[in-house]
Structure 1
């Protein structure tokens, strides 16, 4: 039996008691209140899983109840009841934090479905996610977020290897955090007070890379106007991190192997090797064994680098960490941008959970930054992510904007858990974009009167002059 605690607020006794009977027959524990003020007092005395409130009530109306609950009890989902079933009412309720709305009169089946959906689709709040994130950061590593089994294995390996001087090879897809691993190894090693030097092996041409790594003597080649100390020597007593090691040439690979074997570096144009004491961490997103088999990477260098392998899992294989990561990034960007963000709407979080993330954690970070910039309220909506997934991965299979008024109405029915203004915004934006921001043509195309279409634009804060950046002219 479902033990969710539900509070019903309505000044109509018939509605209150009718809802109590219906919901109690479904196994819920129900409390009722005849006014918004008394309802808020009940909430301060008891923890409720869901609130159902009428919109039009004497004294404190439903929208004010919504606003107060958002402040005092931000994790509690709210369903708004209204006998004034208009799009404007629904949009206003959603913008003020309602998770759904019900138009009176309604059947027991409708209210039961709405309640079940609301309890399943509770907003994902940044406060909850960030608390989990902070706990995990204390237990594990400063720059890592996530306590999944996959990441726990990475943490254990870092702790095992950090106290040693063994060379480490970090592998994983782009965006999984390979440099974070290298820095964590350095911070937890006896070399923590010496330099950590990171080199991107793809950023320099071969001759410049060798000069950066090994140094050169003044006059050793055109442009060598002074002697340069190589990064191997700069990192002396510390850690040298070579990122994207697979991209160096076979010639440079041979010189790197000699440096690792002899623990000394010969600057370009020099005659005397310079000794050095470093810890080497290398990283790549390539399959080095395949490159060795194809003759594009030296086998002896691979063995020298692969003493301690650490493989980072892609984000799609550690989805248990997704909410903590989202909470971390949302909190960070909200603070940087000076915005008050509570979290993500349920359908926005569902979209992320169904996404493949080819760019991994780095892509997620960029997505959340963009969403915080674009968000118009204190909950990130699905449309703010500007992310499309295929019908195969999107459970609803409804990622395209509706094309007609009839499609819009049907989409609202099918996507009850999605905020009404999110659907409407996609509808009007796509219509305007297809018609090059001509209001008259857009209204005609979707089968609406121009004043009605203009009203939708106005509610979304859109016009031909005030359009979101990045959209087609």
Structure 2
């Protein structure tokens, strides 16, 4: 364990070093705050002990530097009797404990060991929580695929800032879920989260909702109304389907965002606001800019931090996890004794292309649980119809409108067809060999590691098919 001692008195520094080194700790000493910061920039410490009152830079300033440079490192403050109240105040600001002069070696070691034990417990809690989140998902998201891990990391990164975020993705991928997760993990979490559906309101009503209006400013304005930009003040404003805002409203919104002030419709005095703006769309704003349907300057204003949510067909490995999650959810809600899903139903759901993404899967599982007459969901309980049979081949009913989109769709269909053949190949091999991976690999002429790699790449887990 590596401990940093910061004190302007050499007697204190040397005395603490002897005590701690006698207990097998490694000790670095700094005679002032500036020297301490230099060491903090060079080495990682497990604990810091600093005097409260020092010339040049106080213990409070050292504490603030630690919170920036090594935020997980605990700090113990040394103080005299006359400044105990100040030390208690320091504890409120981040120190884990304080030591009053004069002190004994036993007191020092007791405080040090207690602080390190507390740190160890905290780190273990964080590690366990990360493992749980990594396995099951993140907040309201369910999934452990590489694609979703990227999403989770980006959410944590942007939540720590006030930079505007543009969430893109197909309908049903969870754009509002992502926006709420950003808000939840931000410093604004205790302030309002205000969501605005830009599709649901006509142009004049959307402006009134966003900017507010004063009484009598237009027909029907019977009273003064605060705009949602002000309602969200201090918190997060989520503009869903921002691509549907008209060009004239886009111009007004851009000016408001640049100035961070809004003047209600019919009003004369601008009002300042402080929000974290998160926008979302299922369309390509870049393409809309090229078509003259979206302002380029507003696009650049919104697209400071992009966050793209993958469609469900691009994270097939998450489907069994999602199925189990939603099946358990609806079994509890409906009160039915449904315990599993048949291999045929699972195979079909894994090969379906999900034009409606996770939202469609949720509805499908809820319907299947309700219609299931036994304790295992069968393929017929899914009731996806002929359209689903078409979608499961890789074509989801979307007709491309340009050569580039056609090329992409052809590539996707080819990839999906190959994947479907591969899945059928390994599943049938497993069935013929009573779900024994080694025997299935040997029968097909593959090495067991290669066979397992194919299973992992295709997102196939034997436990999802066998032993239900």
Q: TM-score, normalised by structure 1?
A: 0.54
Deviations 1:63-117 (A, max 9, x none): xxxxxxxxxxxxxxxxxxxxxxxxxxxxxxxxxxxxxxxxxxxxxxxxxxxxxxx
Q: Which has the higher contact order (CA 8 A, sep 6+)?
A: 1
Give the gaps of 5 or more residues in structure 2: 1-130, 395-427, 432-468
Return closer, same or farther for 1:281/1:391 CA change in 2, 3 Å cut-off: closer
Q: Residue 205 of structure 2 corresponds to which residue in structure 1?
A: 208
**Structure 1 spans left out of the alignment, 5+ residues:** 1-133, 396-413, 418-473
Map of 1:45 onto structure 2: none
2:348 and 2:392 in contact (8 A); partners too:
no
The answer to whether 1:153 aligns with 2:142 is no
Aligned to 1:295: 292
1:463 is matched with which residue?
none
Equivalent residue number for residue 192 of structure 1: 189
Contact between 2:261 and 2:271, CA under 8 Å: does it hold in 1? Answer: yes
| Alignment of 1:321 onto 2:323 | no
Residue of structure 2 equivalent to 1:358: 355
- Contact 1:236–1:276 at 8 Å: present in 2 too? yes
Give secondary structure in 2 for the equivalent of 1:386.
coil
Q: Deviations over 1:221-254 (max 9, x none)?
A: 0000100000000000000000000001001100
Q: Equivalents in 2 of 1:246, 1:302: separation in Å?
A: 10
Of the candidates 260, 265, 269, which is equivalent to residue 262 of structure 2? 265
Q: Retained in 2: the 8 A contact 1:168–1:310? A: yes
User: Is 1:373 the counterpart of 2:370 in the alignment?
Assistant: yes
Question: Does the residue aligned with 1:390 lie in a helix, a strand or coil?
Answer: helix
Q: TM-score, normalised by structure 2?
A: 0.55
Q: Kindly indicate whether the alpha-carbon contact (under 8 Å) linking 1:237 and 1:278 is maintained by their aligned counterparts in 2.
A: yes
Aligned residue in 1 for 2:271: 274
Q: Deviations over 1:369-389 (max 9, x none)?
A: 110110001111000001244
Work out the CA distance in 1 between the residues paired with 2:289 and 2:245: 13
Deviation, structure 1 residue 135: 3.8
Aligned pairs for 1:92-241 within 5 A: 135-136=132-133, 140-241=137-238
1:349 aligns to 2:346 (yes or no) = yes
CA RMSD of aligned residues (A): 2.2
Shift of 1:266: 1.0
Partner secondary structure for residue 141 of structure 2 = coil
Retained in 2: the 8 A contact 1:173–1:285?
Answer: yes
CA distance, structure 1, for counterparts of residue 279 and residue 328 of structure 2: 32
Which residue matches 2:407?
A: none
The answer to whether structure 1 residue 390 and structure 2 residue 389 are counterparts is yes
- Count of residue pairs the alignment pairs up: 266
Bigger fraction of residues in helix: 2
- Describe the SS at the equivalent of 2:307: strand
Looking at structure 2, the residues matched to 394 and 306 of structure 1 have their Cα atoms a distance apart, in angstroms, of 34
* Inter-partner Cα distance in structure 1 for 2:271 and 2:321: 46
